[in-house]
Every structure is written in C-alpha cells, then in structure tokens.
Amino acid sequence: MTPRVLDVLVVGGGATGAALLRDLSMRGARCLLVDKGDFGTGTSGRNHGLLHSGARYVVKDEISALQCARENAVLSRVAAPAIEPTGGLFVATPDDPPDYADGFAAACARAGVACREIEPAEALRREPALRPDLRRAFAVSDGAIDPWALIELNLRSAVHYGGEALAYHRLVGLQLANGRIVGAELADVRSGSTFRVAPRMVVNAAGPWAGRVAALAGAEVTLTLGKGALIVLDRRPVDSVVARCHPPSDGDALVPVHTVAILGTSSVTVHDPDRYAISPAEIAHLMALGDQLVPSFSASRVLRAYAGVRPLYLPRLDELQPRERAGLAADPAAAEALAAGRIDSRRLTRAHRVLDHGPRDGIANLVSIVGGKLTTCRLMAEETADTVAAKLGLGTPCRTADEPMGGADGGRPYWLGHRLAEREVAGGGDADLVCECELVSAGDIERFLDERWPCSLDDLRRGTRLGMGPCQGAFCTFRAAARVGERAGGRAATATGERGLLVAAGGPSPVEIGRVADGPEPPEPGDGPIGPALVDAALVGFLEERFRGVRPVAWGRQLQEAWFEAGVYLGVLGVDALVVDGQRPCLPEDGRAEL
Amino acid sequence: MPSCDVLVAGAGLAGLTTALAAADGGASVWLVAKGHAATHWSHGGLDLAAPPGTVGGGEGVALLARRPGHPYEIVAEDLPAGLARVRRALDAAGLAYEGDLASPHGRIPTAVGATRPAGVLPGAQAAARAPWRPGEGLLVVGFERFRDFAAPAVAASLARPLPWAGAPRPERVTAVGVTLPGLAERRNLDGLDLARAFDDPSWRGPALDAIARAVEPHRGDGELRVAFPAVLGLADHPAVAAALDARLGGPWFEIPLVPPSVPGLRLYEAMVAALRAARVAVQVGFAVSAAIRTPDGRVAGLATAAAGRPFPIRAGQVVLATGGFASGGLVATADGRVEEPILGLPVEAPPQPAWLAPSMFDPAGHPLEAAGIRTDRKLRPVGPTGERAERGVRIAGALLAGARALRERSGDGIAIASGERAARLALARTVGALAVPSGPVAAGPAAGPEGRGAR
Ligand SMILES: Cc1cc2nc3c(=O)[nH]c(=O)nc-3n(C[C@H](O)[C@H](O)[C@H](O)COP(=O)(O)OP(=O)(O)OC[C@H]3O[C@@H](n4cnc5c(N)ncnc54)[C@H](O)[C@@H]3O)c2cc1C
Ligand SMILES: Cc1cc2nc3c(=O)[nH]c(=O)nc-3n(C[C@H](O)[C@H](O)[C@H](O)COP(=O)(O)OP(=O)(O)OC[C@H]3O[C@@H](n4cnc5c(N)ncnc54)[C@H](O)[C@@H]3O)c2cc1C
C-alpha cells in the first residue's frame, strides 16, 4: 500500500499539538495529529490548570511573564468555554519573606503584568477562607483552565478546517533519506496494526517524550523532567486562584477548578516520563502548604493526588540566548557550571523553544517544540507553525488569535453552575444522571460515545468529568460501564482488536502496551463478541485508575470512601472475578494518576 | 439517665446479633448507632467464609480459625448458634434464607455480569445457586428507565465462561427489557423507588403481568431460570415473591445492586423487627462519643448525642460493634495513625506506607483491611503486649483485628459469631442484674428517633 501523503504530521495530542493542528489547518496545510494515548493524557492532563497572568514569573523569568500575560488575554477571548475567569490573588503571609512583595509589585509594573495591591481586609472579604493574618494582597488576572476542554476546542476547530486527529496512534519509526524524513510509521495501539504515512514535515510536540521522538530521527533533544505532584480537594475553599507571594519555588497555589480545588505543586527531578511515584513526603509538604494558605486545610477531605512532569528543555551551549547567558553568568554557581560547559537549568527561562532540526541536526523537515506552558500553548503553536509554513512555502498568516473557538456560544466563559442549569432545562434522557457528583447525564455520555466510540471509561472521564467528584467513581463506574456494555453488545471485532481495547482502558505506558499486544491470545474460547471483555476492561481499568489516585491520600473520609467502594465492587459486584491475570490493564506507578 | 444490662453500639450485623442474643437471654438491651451499616450497602446474603481454595462455608471457617490472630480463632465456635438465631429472625420476616455451614459456595451472578461465591442466601437469591442442569438457560430481565441494572450487558458477560471461573453455568444467557407501568416519565430511579412501587399491590399486579408477558416468549424447550434486579418489594417482599412464583411458575432469583441495597434493607428491617419483638430499644441517629465510667475507671455506659443534645446511657455491659473504616469504627489520619474514636482503644495496624497494595484488586487484599482491635478470648480489648486495655467493654464485628473480610468473604460470619459470643459473655456477667426483673427498658427519650432505620 502506498503511504498517504501529508503536509504535516504532528506527533503529540497535548495542548500544544492540538493548537498546532488547528493553526496549520487554518493556514491550509493537510495535517494529521497522532497521540499514543487519548488526547490530553500527557502533561496537559496532569498540571495545575492555572491560566497564568504572568505574575508568577515576573520576578525571575520576564520572558515567560510577558508571554503568559499576552496569552492569558488571547485565550480568554478565543477559548472562553474552557476558561473560568476566577481572577487571582497573590497573598503575603507571615511565612513569606516580607521584601518579596515589594519586588513583586515593582516587577509586575515593569513587565506590564496587571496587578493591583488591595487591603488584606478586602482580600479576606473576597476569600474568607484565607488565613486572617495576611500581610499584603495583590489582585491579578489568573484564571482556571480546563485542559481537556481546551484541547477539545482546538481539535474541533482543526477538524473544521480539514485537520485530522487520531488518538491511540503512536509514532514508532521515522525513515530518513538524504537528510529528510521520507516516511513515518504509526502503530494503532488498540489493534496492534501499523501503517505508514509520507509527511512533508514532521513536528515533534511530544512534551516530556520529545527526546524519544527526536531520537527516532537520530536527533538529540535533552529534557530535564521536573515532576510536580498536586492534590485535589473535595470543594472550593476559594473561588479565585490564590498564590503565595514568595519566590516561585514550587509554584505554590490553590486553584479552583470546576467543583474542586487543586493545590500544588511539589517539584522533584525524575528520569522516566512514564514511571514516577508520589511520595508521602510530597503529600505532607502539600498539606502543610495548604495550611499556610487556608487554616484547617489539612483537616479537609483530599480526593486524590496526581502528578505530571514538566518538560524543561536543556539547550545546547550554542542555543543559549544572550539574555540567558547573562542570567547564568550573574549567578556564581551557574557561572561556574557554564565555564565547565554545563547549564544550570534552574536559571533558565521556562519559555518554550522551537527547534529547527534542519540547521541543528541536518534533518531538513523535522521541527520540535519543547518546554512552555499550557497558558502559552497557542503562542507555541503559532511560532512553530510559522517555521513550518515557511518551509512548506505557505504564505498564510496565523489566525488563531483572532477567531474564537466553540461555535456561536464561543464567547461565553465557563461558569460553575452550567451543568446544573443544563440539567434543569433539559428534558428527556438528559435528566437521567449517571454521575451525581459531577452532574453527568446519560445524554452527555451517549453524545460522547457517539463521537468517540470505541473508547475507555477514562476517555469518557476526560470528556465529561465522570467520576471526578467526591465519590471518585463509586456509583458512576457501574452505570457508565453498563452504557459502554450496551454499545459493545452489538459489535463484533477481531481478537486483536479486543486486546487493543483492553489496553486502552487502563491508560498504560509504552512498556505495557508492548507486553500486552505481544502476549498470547486471551484464553477465552467462547468469548465471541468484543462486548463483554471490553466492559470488563473498562470497569477494571477505571476502578484501578481511580484507586491509584486515591491511594496516596487514603486517610479520613477518602479512605472511608475507598473502603465503601471496595465493599461494593468486590463484595457485592464481584468484579475481581473479571480480573484475569495478564489481561488486567497493567498500571504504572502511582504518580501517573490524572486529575 | 436510662440504664440497661447490655448496651450495644452499632447497628450492623454484629450489633444487631449481639442485641438479639442478649435480649433472647433475658437481658434488658439498648442498641444505639450513629447511622446505618454495611447491611444497607451489601448484598443481603450472609458471607460466612469463602477463602480461595475452599468448597463450603464450614471448611472456610475452619481454615481461617487456624490462622493465628484471625477473629475466627476466637469466635468460630459461636457461629452455629449465632447463625441459627439470625436465621430465625429472618425466617420470621418471611425472607426464607437458605444454606448453612455445610452448603458449598456456589457462584452466583452479579449485577456487572461477574459471579461471586455465596453461602447463605435470602430465598429470593437462593435459586441462583442451584446447580445448572444440562440445557438450562438464564434470562436476565431489566426494567426500562432503571439506570442501575443493564440486563443486556449482564447477559452478554454471563454468556462467557470467564466470569464463572470453571463453575457450572447456564447453557444460554439472554436478556429482555420490561417497561413497568407508569415509570416511563420517571428519572433517576433507584432500587428503592422500584422496591416501594412493588410494595403497592395495585401497581404490582399490572407490573407482574408485564413481566410474565415479556418472559413467556423466551421459554423454549429447555428449562429457564429468570434473573431480576433485586428490587422486588421491600416491606411486602414476601407477597411480591409469592405472586411472582405464581406468575412465572418456574425458578427465578434476584441479583443485588449497588447501594441502597434492597435485600440488605430487608435483612436490617427483619432484624430490627425481631429486636423490637424482644423489646430492645433501637436508636439509630445516636452517635456515641465517649464512655461513662465508674470512679475506678471501668466503662459503665456510653455518652451518645441526638439532635445535638447529650444523651448518656448507663449499662452493666457494653459491646462496641461500630464497624471498620467504612462505618467510622476506625479512623485513619493523614499522619499515619489509626484510631478508634470512641474510647481511643489501641488499634493494631500496619505502618502507613504499607496500608494499601498498588492494585485495588490485589488478590491478597490490602494490609490495612486487617487493622482493628485485638482482644482476648472474651473479646475484651488488649494492647500490643496482650495487657487489658479497657474494662467493661467487648468488641464485635468488623472492628476486630485480623480479618480481610472482603477477600475471605468472612465479614458477615465474623459479625454474627462475635456478636453471639459477646452477648453470651455479657449475659454471663449480667446474672445479678437479670435477677432484677428490669424487663425491657421502657422507651427511649420521648422524641427518640426510634424506627428511623425504616427510611
Ligand atoms: C505539575 C505541573 C503543573 C503545571 N501547571 C501548569 C499551570 O498551572 N499552567 C500552565 O500554563 N502550565 C502548567 N504546566 C505546564 C503544562 O502542563 C505543560 O507545559 C503543557 O501541558 C505541555 O503540553 P504539551 O502538549 O507540550 O505536552 P503533553 O501534554 O505532554 O503532550 C505530549 C503528547 O505526546 C504524546 N506522545 C508522546 N510520544 C508519542 C509518540 N511516540 N507517538 C504519539 N504520541 C506521542 C503523549 O501521549 C502526549 O499526549 C504544568 C506542568 C506540570 C508538570
Ligand atoms: C459496601 C460494603 C460491602 C461489603 N460486602 C461484603 C461482602 O460481600 N462480604 C463480606 O464478607 N463482607 C462484606 N463487607 C464487610 C462488612 O464490613 C462485614 O460484612 C459486616 O457487615 C460488618 O458488620 P459490623 O456490624 O461489624 O459493622 P458495620 O456493618 O460497619 O456497622 C457499624 C455500625 O456502627 C455504627 N457506628 C459507627 N461509629 C459509631 C459511633 N461513634 N456511635 C454509634 N454508632 C457508630 C454505624 O453507624 C453502623 O451502624 C462489606 C462492607 C462494605 C462497606
């Protein structure tokens, strides 16, 4: 079969890849985006959900601050349905260095990041749960952003402009000839089958996996992986983003997201983007941090913990910008390292970089986009698309900052009460709730399945927030699995397909995909249709995934909930009878549990 | 201050059994509980013991009783008497439980199309365990608009060998949906809504007709067993069951669902009815916060509260049956402690990093499941070195250390056996008090929430 010809293959369906697919499609390029998992299962699905105003970075990283400030305004306009404009407060507590606040205010003014000092009393009127002995408070325009909604908006828009996106498709190989990529091999991780495409350009937007993707073309991209752990609270003690006014060690902030609030983050260097755990010490650190912002925080209920890795690019010496060089030279330790040919990554900008592997590595049609933030994903895409368009000879300019996404209603920002309002006006099947915590209706589920089938319950969760509330899936898993089961009932499929879907349900890492896909046929002679095994996998995989997130914070009410859930699913429903050795979706370490 | 011979804290199977056994023995008994128990969440059957590799409950109990530190090591001998007592109460309510320690664990279908081993079952579930005969089929009936039971998915799963783990299984499994009268417009129906509907005789008739009509075409040449979601009546369940027997003329059974558990509620109500008949004061909604003590420190009653008002109860003997983590009998803290919140009893528990296994489905269970109060043979709490930790109180049920009830399927048996034993030992210490014809304690407080358990 002759491989399909494409203008651009985008590798990675995180926020960056999705924005890039949209950008290039709007410019008229024929593009395909692939992700080895569901969209938004990489770092984009494991972050803090903070739409930065730039204030966090003003003191140490002015480039990032400026980019965030600008993109905050742009995204609020073009991606409104994915954003809750909560506003933000930077508060100085007695635990924070008193002089930082002055420097902070000055730096905001210098960088042009909107920031207004308010009386502590006013801050407390706005957020009464905060500790009463605040020293100072600054109002900024931080917000909350739903990464899956943002990705969804971008993909929908991209598809509208002719783009194509495939979940559960992994780039496994690149063929080079004469300094060019001439073919890309893609594996459907659900069926195990592979096929080839012939792209004119390949963009590596693989986040923390960017080094591995570049390596497929023989290029070296070095990343420092900084793991951050976060914890999810069962409610919103604050309705604005609240951040500490102190040097951005771990980006300490409490972000209200939908019905919950997220506190983070810790920061620990790791080496494998697929395997990392959350330590009890990190959890203890986060709880203590919470108490410094909201009294009795540690007594409240923590629903789950998760972690992601920041893909920080470690530039080669010849790639340092003059400004960065100056920054490194100003710091004695960093200067010493630099003299010895090493770069101290803590002194680098968190801003992204577009790497053109033509001049860099002699691969004419490969571009990598590395580093950056959720907040700046559109800008990252724009700069990358500029490079790509130049190589393709496309003259069309970027329009992603001008055209709002989300259809006719696109201008309306997210608001917390939207689900309830929808449920109240909706009649018919829509009023039947599958997930009571998050008000997910049967209609929401069916609509998602209509578009995405076949998919796992975890995919359904990212699309609908199923199982993300206090009970963490205790009731809805059962109901949603039944709906998946009904759909599966009518479908016949091959045994390989069945195994592939089994894998999909647990959100496995590359290692495990290989293992399951290469394993022996499932020993299930009478198991004809795809249906039941898919439901087993959906149930078991989803319960395991939720359990993984609860485990690091299993105490108090959440342990009680976990015990209740185990009683129902093991005691009453006997789900353990469906867990077959070797077929159970294998799970990576705790840390990979998502939001 | 009210006083009684035996005061039981906890309205789970352990507390209910303790109270019934104590009352049967002639003691005056109060039962107080913060709220409802595992009965309301579980399947309504009585899991005695089905650790892997065992064939029947008796064998399972014997196996666990040989494990050092397992509750059955102490209480197994009391299981037959306790089980007989509980069975009498359930039979009196018309629930017709079947099975005993000698019955093999059959594998019975669950609401996700899996199976579980089951020993003692309510009459309405018992037909699930009868051996499947050659040619026999299973028809799974679902109700339209009822989101907690997906008959087609259950049937599709049960049609495979996998869920049956090698046990005999039906030759064919099919599903049918029934539209029940008047429910087409209802939203978010749960099992309890349907059970209450079945309790209404005027609704029941047409509903059962519709069911019978739907089942009829599925009768082929071979025999057919019919499965329903467990919603066939609550208070009037025996009448619903009898009417269904007459309509179907063949074997049928109920499959328990996610909470609220209708079979569990029936069990609870039957036990409470027996307690009321034995003149036990049952007070649900009374959280116990501390002990009342004699001047020399012995526990002589419990301090409870209802509607925000303190309500102390004095008692000769106190039994704590407040359950494990799910019911709040045990509480785990963020900094790695496990506490018994009422008396602050010493808790035996693994260190925090080892609380939970990485997989929810770890076949060995989670180390924390075995956490609880260690006791002497008289169920009196002891500390790490075996010293008495508290006087005047005994422990029963899931609060006891040493079991992994979910994996062993031993929770109900331990609750019943330990309840029986705790009552027996308490009665032995109550002889003096019994000589006084204290009778049943008059009543609770005037505005007591008696019977709140009926929901
Ligand atoms: C703990 C933490 C908190 C953060 N908080 C914030 C915040 O509050 N605000 C903010 O703006 N930013 C935040 N960030 C940064 C932000 O999350 C990331 O910069 C951003 O999500 C990166 O998106 P991406 O699309 O570049 O990468 P990813 O989302 O990681 O996407 C890469 C994708 O590539 C796919 N992939 C990899 N290899 C292959 C292959 N071979 N074939 C196919 N697909 C492949 C992966 O599956 C993945 O989906 C945070 C980061 C962390 C770690
Ligand atoms: C959902 C679920 C399903 C289960 N399924 C099975 C199964 O299938 N098989 C099996 O073997 N085991 C199962 N178990 C294990 C179960 O714990 C035992 O089966 C058994 O029912 C425990 O009974 P118990 O009376 O000891 O405790 P519980 O049933 O937990 O009762 C505890 C009682 O104490 C009360 N209480 C707690 N604190 C206070 C206080 N401070 N003051 C007053 N009252 C208080 C509670 O309100 C409750 O009434 C299940 C458990 C759960 C949670």
Q: Which ligand is nearest to the CA of A380?
A: 1
- Which of residues 294 through 333 in chain A touch B, CB cutoff 8 A? 298
Residue B64 lies in a domain: yes
Output the domain CATH number for residue B42: 3.50.50.60
Residue A519 lies in a domain: yes
Query: For chain B, what is the domain count?
Result: 2
In single-letter form, the type of residue at position A125 comes to R
Residue B377 lies in a domain: yes
CB contact, 8 Å: A490 with chain B? no
A585-A587-A591 Cα angle (round to 5)? 150
Q: Is B43 in the pocket of ligand 2 (CB under 6 A)?
A: yes
| Residue B421 sits in the same domain as residue B322 | yes
| Residue B245 sits in the same domain as residue B287 | no
| Residue B348 sits in the same domain as residue B410 | yes
Q: How far apart are CA A409 and CA B301, in angstroms?
A: 64
Residue B122 lies in a domain: no
Choose the residue to mutate in A38, A43, A268, A285 for probing ligand 1, maximizing ligand atoms within 8 Å of C-beta: A43
Q: Which residues of B touch A573 (CB under 8 A)?
A: 110-112, 114, 116, 258
Query: Domain range spanning residue B138?
Result: 131-250
Q: How far apart are CA A315 and CA A325, in angstroms?
A: 11
Domain boundary among A341, A374, A392: A392
- Which of residues 521 through 550 in chain A touch B, CB cutoff 8 A? 524-527, 529, 531-533, 535-536, 539-540, 543-544, 547-548
CB B394 within 8 Å of CB B373: no
Residue A586 lies in a domain: no
Nearest CA in chain B to A484: B153
Domain boundary among B225, B250, B275: B250
Q: State residue A489's pLDDT score.
A: 58
Q: State residue B97's pLDDT score.
A: 97
| Residue B180 sits in the same domain as residue B73 | no
Q: In A258-321, where do the E strands start and end?
A: 260-264, 268-270, 302-313
Q: State residue A486's pLDDT score.
A: 72
Residues contacting A508, CB < 8 A, separation 6+: A516, A585, A586, A587, A588
State how far residue B174 is from chain A, nearest Cα, in angstroms. 12
CA count, 13 A, side-chain hemisphere, A57? 24
| Residue B231 sits in the same domain as residue B280 | no
DSSP H helical segments within A294-351, as ranges?
A: 322-330, 332-339
| Residue A31 sits in the same domain as residue A178 | yes
Q: Residue with the nearest Cα to atom 26 of ligand 1?
A: A207
| Residue A486 sits in the same domain as residue A452 | yes
| Region B2-15 average pLDDT | 97
Q: How far apart are CA A293 and CA A92, in angstroms?
A: 10
| Residue A469 sits in the same domain as residue A570 | yes
| Residue B234 sits in the same domain as residue B276 | no
Domain boundary among A286, A311, A336: A311
Over residues B144-195, the pLDDT tens digits come to 889 899 898 899 889 989 899 888 999 999 999 999 998 877 778 889 999 9
Residue A59 lies in a domain: no
Task: Name the pLDDT band for B431 (thresholds 50, 70, 90).
Answer: low
pLDDT of B369 above 60: yes
| Residue B65 sits in the same domain as residue B181 | no
Q: Is A27 in the pocket of ligand 1 (CB under 6 A)?
A: no
| Residue B174 sits in the same domain as residue B284 | no
| Residue A272 sits in the same domain as residue A212 | no
Decide if A280 and B352 are in contact by the 8 Å CB cutoff.
yes
Q: State residue A296's pLDDT score.
A: 82
Q: State residue A467's pLDDT score.
A: 86
| Residue A20 sits in the same domain as residue A95 | no
| Residue A489 sits in the same domain as residue A455 | yes
Q: Which of A471, A547, A572 to mutate: most B Cβ within 10 Å? A: A572
User: What is the Å distance from ligand 1's center to A44 Cα?
Assistant: 4
Q: How far apart are CA A467 and CA A434, in angstroms?
A: 9
pTM, entire model: 0.88
CB A500 within 8 Å of CB A192: yes
Residue B85 lies in a domain: yes
Q: State residue B129's pLDDT score.
A: 94
| Residue A433 sits in the same domain as residue A570 | yes
| Residue A199 sits in the same domain as residue A236 | no
CB contact, 8 Å: A576 with chain B? yes
Q: State residue A469's pLDDT score.
A: 82
User: What is the Å distance from ligand 1's center to A14 Cα?
Assistant: 6
User: What is the Å distance from ligand 1's center to A40 Cα?
Assistant: 8
Query: For chain A, what is the domain count?
Result: 3
| Region B439-444 average pLDDT | 37
| Residue B168 sits in the same domain as residue B215 | yes
Residue B416 lies in a domain: yes
Q: How far apart are CA B188 and CA A441, in angstroms?
A: 10
| Residue B142 sits in the same domain as residue B291 | no
Report the SS3 class of residue B353: helix
Q: State residue A458's pLDDT score.
A: 83
Residues contacting A234, CB < 8 A, separation 6+: A260, A300, A301, A302, A303, A469, A470, A557
| Residue B237 sits in the same domain as residue B277 | no
State how far residue A236 is from chain B, nearest Cα, in angstroms. 20
Q: Residue with the nearest Cα to atom 48 of ligand 1?
A: A42
| Residue B150 sits in the same domain as residue B234 | yes
CB contact, 8 Å: A159 with chain B? no
Query: Domain range spanning residue A176?
Result: 4-44+148-222+351-392
Over residues B293-346, the pLDDT tens digits come to 999 999 999 999 877 788 999 999 999 999 999 999 999 998 899 999 999 999
Candidate from A315-324, B213-222, B258-267 with smallest mean pLDDT: A315-324
Q: Which of B42, B46, B325 to mutate: most A Cβ within 10 Å? A: B325
Cα A413 to its chain centre, rounded Å, is 20
Residue B369 lies in a domain: yes
| Residue A135 sits in the same domain as residue A173 | no
Q: Which residues of B touch A564 (CB under 8 A)?
A: 41, 326
Intervals of chain A under pLDDT 70:
1, 248-251, 408-410, 426-431, 488-531, 534, 580-595
From the number of C-beta atoms within 10 Å of its C-beta (0-12, 13-18, 19+), residue B192 rates as middle
Computed over its alpha carbons, how large is the radius of gyration of chain A? 24
Output the domain CATH number for residue A95: 3.30.9.10
Residues contacting B302, CB < 8 A, separation 6+: B7, B9, B32, B288, B290, B291, B292, B312, B313, B315, B318, B342
| Residue A190 sits in the same domain as residue A302 | no
Decide if B160 and A532 are in contact by the 8 Å CB cutoff.
yes
Residue A590 lies in a domain: no
| Residue A234 sits in the same domain as residue A367 | no
| Residue A34 sits in the same domain as residue A87 | no
Report the SS3 class of residue A144: strand
Output the domain CATH number for residue A23: 3.50.50.60
Residue A16 lies in a domain: yes
User: What is the Å distance from ligand 1's center to B14 Cα?
Assistant: 51
Residue A342 lies in a domain: no
Residues contacting A441, CB < 8 A, separation 6+: A423, A426, A429, A430, A431, A432, A433, A434
Residue B161 lies in a domain: yes
Q: State residue B309's pLDDT score.
A: 86
Q: State residue A588's pLDDT score.
A: 35
Decide if B38 and A431 are in contact by the 8 Å CB cutoff.
no
A137: number of Cβ within 10 Å: 25
ipTM value greater than 0.90: yes
Q: State residue A427's pLDDT score.
A: 57
In single-letter form, the type of residue at position B400 comes to L
Domain boundary among B226, B250, B274: B250
In single-letter form, the type of residue at position B395 comes to I
Residue A58 lies in a domain: no
CB A473 within 8 Å of CB A550: no
